[in-house]
Chain A
Amino acid sequence: EVQLLESGGGLEQPGWSLRLSCAASGFTFSAYAMSWVRQAPGKGLEWVSTISDSGGSTYYADSVRGRFTISRDDSKSTLYLQMNSLRAEDTALYFCAKGRSGSTASCYNYWGQGTLVTVSS
């Protein structure tokens, strides 16, 4: 059974940093592209970042480029999102999502339950 378990969320002040983690199990983690998607309270889904199966290619939404860094550790089957220079508008539930195929041109067939990030002074 595929499982994605996010952690690392919490309350942080503007300008500070957080690192989110997503522990994956039930599939060959290294064979799939992985992504982060967020959802602000009461709002829709917003794609944040994607990393290729090899880790050699990364992609970011304009709203986070230069502040967030996606990475993966295949030995630990874990996806990360380093979030720096946090802003109030980064407040959201952050989901980890597994690509349906190994290509980055893939939709997401499994999602975690999310970890809540709140940015406030």
Chain B
Amino acid sequence: DFQMTQSPSSLSASVGDRVTVTCRASQGISNYLAWYQQKPGKGPRLLIYGASTLQSGVPSRFSGSGSGTDFTLTISSLQPEDVAIYYCQKYNSAPWTFGQGTKVEIK
């Protein structure tokens, strides 16, 4: 089975901190990697696609990097409105697997 493994599963940081979430694919996926943000009671929101391209309307404090099997989502300066669960997803081919999610909280 194809696996997308995120770490950490949760983190707590202060407002203004730099936050990093990693995602590892069990096989190479080139740059077919997306990051989503999900807040309670809402559908997910696309943040980044193509591993590093910011979706229109997403604040520039969000960035993505990586290729192949290892990817990173970075929030350069954590804001209170960034409290959410973040998911990575591979989308080069079926199955379009999601990571298990990373819960981001404010300390």
Contacts and interface: CB of A to CB of B under 8 A. Distances in A.
Please classify how large the interface on chain A is, using the bins under 10, 10 to 19, 20 to 34, 35 or more. 20 to 34
Q: From DSSP, what is the main secondary structure of chain B's interface residues?
A: loop
A45 B98 contact: yes
Given A105-B32, A109-B55, A112-B43, A50 B87 contact: no
B20 interface: no
A100 interface: yes
Interface of A: 35, 37, 44-47, 50, 59, 61-62, 95, 97, 100, 104-109, 111-114
16 contacts: A44-B100, A45-B36, A45-B89, A45-B101, A46-B98, A47-B96, A50-B94, A50-B96, A62-B1, A95-B43, A97-B43, A105-B32, A109-B55, A111-B43, A112-B43, A113-B42
Interface of B: 1, 32, 34, 36, 38, 42-46, 49, 55, 85, 87, 89, 91-101
